[in-house]
């Protein structure tokens, strides 16, 4: 059996000159696969003629503790380590793999489950109550779940830098690729070239070839500095390497008391009991006749929803979204609420809030709902829901 302690997940950006990274502080991963099989019948026959096999739909939901690192967000958006700010729009065309390396209770490595070509369709940030740990949530979509087993059990990713020239070759070893059992004569699972910051997946047979031993050839003219990244399966892992490195350098988690939340930029929110951000990307990933893969990725619309819950003591939030904060204004009419409000969530390393770790900002929010809870023998609660579409995640406090 495989215990969750030995199910070790990683993210591998497809585009950009980016390395594989462990998914740290992950709390659960749930997969749902729809195989898109339709039975074909006909008049005059009792029974099934055949089955139509469509393109599967794979969905992963993931929950992760907020720990003040932007690394995972960079991988999701295919951005490099020097990037300090990730825009919500950066997720429109990004592409990545999720791979989990699996070992049983007897310390026997069993294989790798490979979710190939995933995209993000939604994410969230949730602080459930004043004593809770902050959490991130993600919804990822794709078309492939591939289990690499037996002689093909390790997913290997390698990087090469081109010297430049015609039909340049690269030696692929440590370990050597194992043949793909589904396709005779094929060894490499994917080849991606990044040139001048632009990445593209190369086509087997025309843009690259492999000799079946240890030599990859990039057909045509390579330019010095081109980065070639390859994926393949092996019977062992990279010599001296580790497919999952435990992260003890970052925080284990961030508690609610190490968070500051502001509305309309500078208005600190007191008495908050819960705060949640939910971002949905209305994906438009294009397929085509004659192909069983997604050929282009996009997003029609982005919806960012903010929900704030508190014990009712003052009407500070209502005053802020009315544009009358601090004015002791005598009337709050819901028909006159503002529609260009910003929300800022800052995370620090502890409750003293001396060291900023990272933050989230959503702008141009409009209130879309207000609610009140009036229970018997208890305090009255008040909730506010705002909605927008523009936001970012950053390690640069000055940009918030």
Q: What is the pLDDT of residues 332-385, one digit of tens each?
A: 666 667 788 899 999 999 999 999 999 999 999 998 877 776 666 666 567 788
Establish if 13 belongs to a structural domain: no
Judge if 355 and 298 occupy the same domain: yes
Judge if 267 and 363 occupy the same domain: yes
Question: Is 0.75 topped by the overall pTM?
Answer: yes
Establish if 277 belongs to a structural domain: yes
Establish if 74 belongs to a structural domain: no
Answer yes or no: is pLDDT of 16 > 70: yes
Q: For residue range 97-148, what is the model confidence (pLDDT) as tens digits?
A: 999 999 988 888 999 999 999 999 999 999 999 999 999 999 999 999 999 9
Establish if 44 belongs to a structural domain: no
Query: Residue 136 class from Cβ within 10 Å (0-12 exposed, 13-18 middle, 19+ buried)?
Result: buried
Q: What phi and psi, each to the nearest 5 degrees, are found at residue 163?
A: -85, -20
Domain of 201 in residue numbering reads as 154-234
- The conformation of residue 316, written as its DSSP 8-state character, comes to H
Judge if 208 and 322 occupy the same domain: no
Of 7, 240, 281, 326, give the one whose Cα is nearest residue 119: 281
Mean pLDDT score across all residues of the chain: 90
- The conformation of residue 76, written as its DSSP 8-state character, comes to H
Predicted pLDDT at 274 = 92
Judge if 294 and 393 occupy the same domain: yes
Instruction: Kindly state the percentage of the chain with pLDDT values over 90.
Output: 68
- Give the whole-angstrom CA distance, residue 124 versus residue 311: 23
The predicted model gives 235-262 an average pLDDT of: 94
Establish if 7 belongs to a structural domain: no
Mark which of 234, 269, 300 sits at the end of a domain: 234
- Give the whole-angstrom CA distance, residue 74 versus residue 86: 7
Answer yes or no: is pLDDT of 203 > 80: yes
- The conformation of residue 72, written as its DSSP 8-state character, comes to H
- Give the whole-angstrom CA distance, residue 311 versus residue 131: 15
Judge if 274 and 218 occupy the same domain: no
Predicted pLDDT at 330 = 64
CA dihedral (335, 337, 340, 344) in degrees, to 10, reads -140
Contact yes or no for 53/85 (Cβ under 8 A): no
Judge if 265 and 385 occupy the same domain: yes
Mark which of 184, 201, 234 sits at the end of a domain: 234
Answer yes or no: is pLDDT of 88 > 90: yes
Terminal Cα distance for the chain, rounded: 47
Judge if 202 and 336 occupy the same domain: no
Query: Residue 259 class from Cβ within 10 Å (0-12 exposed, 13-18 middle, 19+ buried)?
Result: buried
Judge if 195 and 310 occupy the same domain: no
Judge if 230 and 260 occupy the same domain: no
Predicted pLDDT at 370 = 77
Judge if 198 and 310 occupy the same domain: no
Answer yes or no: is pLDDT of 253 > 90: yes
Contact yes or no for 252/331 (Cβ under 8 A): no
- The conformation of residue 176, written as its DSSP 8-state character, comes to P
Establish if 38 belongs to a structural domain: no
Judge if 314 and 364 occupy the same domain: yes
Instruction: Report helix, strand and coil shares of the chain as percent, to nearest 5.
Output: 10, 50, 40
Higher-confidence position of 6 and 344: 344
- The token pair at 283 is 């994906």
Judge if 183 and 277 occupy the same domain: no
CATH number, domain of 394, equals 2.30.110
Number of domains in the chain: 2
Q: Which of 239-253, 292-306, 309-323 has the weakest average pLDDT?
A: 309-323
Establish if 129 belongs to a structural domain: no
State the greatest distance between any 2 C-alpha atoms of the chain, in Å, as a whole number.
80
Establish if 221 belongs to a structural domain: yes
Higher-confidence position of 41 and 2: 41
- The token pair at 370 is 């207000």
Mark which of 180, 204, 234 sits at the end of a domain: 234
Residue 288: CA atoms inside 13 Å, Cβ hemisphere, count? 6
């Amino acid at each position: 059996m495989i215990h969750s302690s030995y199910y070790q997940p990683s993210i591998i950006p497809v585009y950009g000159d980016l390395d594989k990274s462990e998914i740290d502080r992950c709390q659960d991963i749930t997969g749902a696969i729809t195989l898109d099989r339709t039975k074909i019948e006909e008049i005059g026959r009792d029974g099934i003629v055949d089955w139509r096999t469509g393109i599967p739909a794979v969905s992963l939901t993931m929950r992760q503790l907020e720990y003040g690192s932007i690394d995972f967000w960079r991988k999701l958006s295919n951005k490099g380590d020097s990037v300090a700010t990730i825009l919500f729009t950066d997720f429109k065309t990004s592409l990545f793999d999720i791979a989990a390396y699996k070992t049983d209770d007897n310390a026997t490595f069993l294989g790798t489950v490979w979710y190939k070509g995933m995209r993000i369709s939604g994410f969230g940030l949730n602080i459930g109550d004043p004593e809770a740990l902050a959490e991130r949530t993600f919804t990822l979509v794709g078309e492939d779940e591939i289990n690499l087993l037996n002689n093909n059990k390790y997913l290997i990713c390698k990087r090469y830098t081109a010297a430049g020239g015609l039909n340049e070759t690269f030696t692929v070893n440590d370990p050597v690729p194992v043949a793909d059992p589904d396709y005779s004569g094929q060894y490499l699972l994917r080849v991606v070239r990044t040139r001048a910051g632009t990445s593209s997946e190369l086509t087997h047979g025309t843009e690259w070839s492999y000799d079946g031993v240890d030599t990859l050839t990039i057909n045509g003219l390579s330019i010095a500095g081109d980065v070639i990244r390859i994926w393949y399966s092996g019977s062992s892992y990279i010599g001296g390497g580790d497919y999952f490195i435990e992260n003890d350098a970052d925080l284990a988690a961030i508690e609610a008391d190490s968070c500051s939340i502001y509305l309309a930029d500078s208005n600190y929110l007191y008495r908050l009991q819960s705060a949640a951000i939910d971002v949905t990307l209305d994906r438009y990933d294009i397929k085509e006749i004659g192909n069983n893969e997604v050929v282009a990725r996009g997003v029609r619309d982005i919806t960012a929803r903010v929900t704030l819950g508190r014990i009712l003591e003052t009407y500070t939030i209502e005053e802020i979204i009315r544009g009358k904060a601090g004015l002791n204004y005598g009337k709050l009419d819901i028909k006159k609420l503002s529609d260009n409000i910003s929300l800022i969530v800052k995370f620090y390393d502890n409750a003293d809030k001396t060291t900023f770790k990272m933050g989230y900002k959503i702008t141009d929010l409009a209130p879309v709902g207000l609610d009140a809870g009036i229970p018997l023998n208890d305090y009255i609660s008040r909730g506010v829901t705002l909605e927008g579409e523009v936001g970012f995640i950053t390690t640069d406090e000055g940009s918030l």
